[in-house]
Structure 1
Amino acid sequence: MPASLVGRKLGLNIIPVPDRNTCRQINVLGISGSSRQKPGMSKSERLLLRALDLYTGYGCQTQFLRLKDLVIHDCEGNYSENPDYCTYPCQSSLKYDDDQMQTVYDAVLACDIMILATPIRWNNHSALIQKFIERMNTIENQFTWFGNRMISNKVAALIIIGHVDGIQHVAGNLLNFVSWLGFHTPEVAIASWVGENDEDTTKDWGLIENNKYTQEDLHNMVNSALRLACSLKSHPLETGGA
């Protein structure tokens, strides 16, 4: 007689924290792609802040950016006219005095681990994350067109929260994006949660906090990203480009 389905087994693959002395060398950047008006309203952002707290507890240096709080102009598609026009610094940063995307570029280039947090919006990541992706073209184009690898030996991971199915679709898009940029991904690269069909978001945070699978995934994501970042810090890989 087949065994009854009881869900995924907890505690089978707990990833340990690396040596604390090594952790102190690691800089972690958390980027929130939620469009919620006030800090603390977004569940993906709250889970991101919890991840950053874990990193701080391990002795890492952390930085948190809310894309919602920054003035970021649209990518104007200069690459489509001529790849030579997609430069770094980004043409939009040079064109608009109030553009704050350079703050994001500086943070990404300075970090060892980047955590992107996004809600699910109509089976996809948020519009703010999409704008971030498109404005990062300038970084990717530096390597593919100009031969200058700006991102190497860095780790990326994801936090995805939503009330409809779509985590794997969102994760696939974002993992493809960070791979093109030059990021490495750890063995556990995603912490996620999907709510019920009733879409009663008022009870979500309590359900997220009490979901043992989401909490285990969050800790494993934090620890596996940290372990990979420490390894790359100690033994950096040679990369192509300048």
Structure 2
Amino acid sequence: MGTPDFSNLKALYVNCTLKQSPRKSHTQGLIDVSKAIMKKEGVTVDDIRFIDHNVAFGVYPDMTKQGVDIDEWPELFKRIEAADILIIGTPIWLGEKSSVAQKLIERLYAMSGKTNDKGQYLFYNKVGGCIITGNEDGVKHCAMGILYALQHVGYSIPPQADCGWIGEVGPGPSYLDEESNAKDNEFTNRNTTFMTYNLLHLANMIKQHGGYSAYGNSREEWDDGTRWNFENPEYR
């Protein structure tokens, strides 16, 4: 079996650090490990530091239509919609994903009712994963919430779609700090590599097969009265 060709894929990393550019982001450090693999595989890669943009809180596609003065989300969403793969990166605070990551998820949810050209929800045929960093417990907990949210709005999640690094619980070095020795952590490096390739494989398979069939999952057809093999059970 030959080496797969991933050069027709587009990936977007959204770093949900609380630090605005140009401050050092430890989450970006681990994102860059995955990005380097993608680039070597010929993938078109995009990167957003979400906090650098004036994105409004809310669950509507454009919050300026709800009275907010500025909302950069509609422009940013064009880059999200163009990507075959979305990877959300977040630090851990009090065992949870960042407030910035939660805002991103809420804005993704605002778009989830839109449909593609098959009448399916917009995020069908796209693949999602996440990258977590911190010096306190919570990698799996954060990944659980992020990956649930992504699949709920329509993203496909491959096996082992998360990776992360944490130091000792409590104050201490973070990912990019030299004394953490994080760059040589075998567990993190292996999981980051596996996650990256699993995202690529699933996105490639979906694209090669023309996406999910609309049989049984088209909102457009459901609204037109199609029910496929659905029927309510008869209760006696």
Aligned: 1:37 with 2:20? yes
Secondary structure in 2 matching 1:141: coil
CA distance in 1, matches of 2:52, 2:164: 24
Q: Quote the Cα distance in structure 1 between the aligned partners of 2:175 and 2:31.
A: 18
Aligned pairs for 1:69-88 (under 5 A) are: 69-75=52-58, 86=60
Alignment of 1:1-242 (within 5 A): 19-20=4-5, 23-39=6-22, 41-75=24-58, 86=60, 90-94=61-65, 95-96=67-68, 98-142=70-114, 149-201=121-173, 205-206=177-178, 207-235=181-209, 236-239=211-214, 240-242=218-220
TM-score (normalised: structure 2): 0.81
Q: Distance in 1 between matches of 2:126 and 2:92?
A: 25
What runs of 5+ residues in structure 1 fail to find an aligned partner?
1-15, 78-85
Q: CA 1:34–1:149 in 2, change beyond 3 Å: closer, same or farther? A: same
**Please, which moves more after superposition, 212-221 or 103-112?**
103-112
SS in 2 for 1:157: strand
Cα RMSD after superposing both structures:
2.2
Cα contact 2:134–2:165 (8 A) shared by 1: yes
Q: What does the per-residue CA deviation read over 1:157-206, in whole Å, with 9 as the maximum and x for residues that have no partner?
A: 11011111111211111111001111111112011111113422367544
Return the offset for 1:150.
1.0
Cα distance in 2, alignment partners of residues 142 and 58 from structure 1: 31
Q: After the TM superposition, which segments of 4 or more aligned residues of structure 1 sit over 3 Å from their partners?
A: 37-40, 93-97, 202-206
C-alpha deviation, 1:134, in angstroms = 1.4
Cα separation, partners in 2 of 1:198 and 1:132, compared to 1, 3 Å: closer
Q: 1:169 to 1:60 in 2, by over 3 A?
A: same
Aligned residue number for residue 229 of structure 2: none
Measured in 2, the distance between the counterparts of 1:122 and 1:198 equals 11
Q: Which amino acid aligns with 2:146?
A: L
Distance 1:232 1:176 in 2: 20
- TM-score, scaled relative to structure 1: 0.79
For structure 2, list consecutive stretches of 5 or more residues without a partner in the other structure. 221-236
Compare the two structures and name the one with the higher helix fraction: 1
CA distance in 2 between partners of 1:46 and 1:125 (Å): 17
What is the distance in 2 between the residues matched to 1:148 and 1:225? 21
In the superposition, relative to structure 1, how do residues 127 and 18 fare at CA in structure 2: closer, same or farther (>3 Å)?
farther
- In the aligned structure 1, how far is the partner of 2:174 from the partner of 2:95? 20
Aligned residue for 2:54, secondary structure, equals: coil
For the residue of structure 1 that corresponds to 2:38, the secondary structure is helix
Q: Assess if the C-alpha contact under 8 Å between 1:33 and 1:66 holds in 2.
A: yes
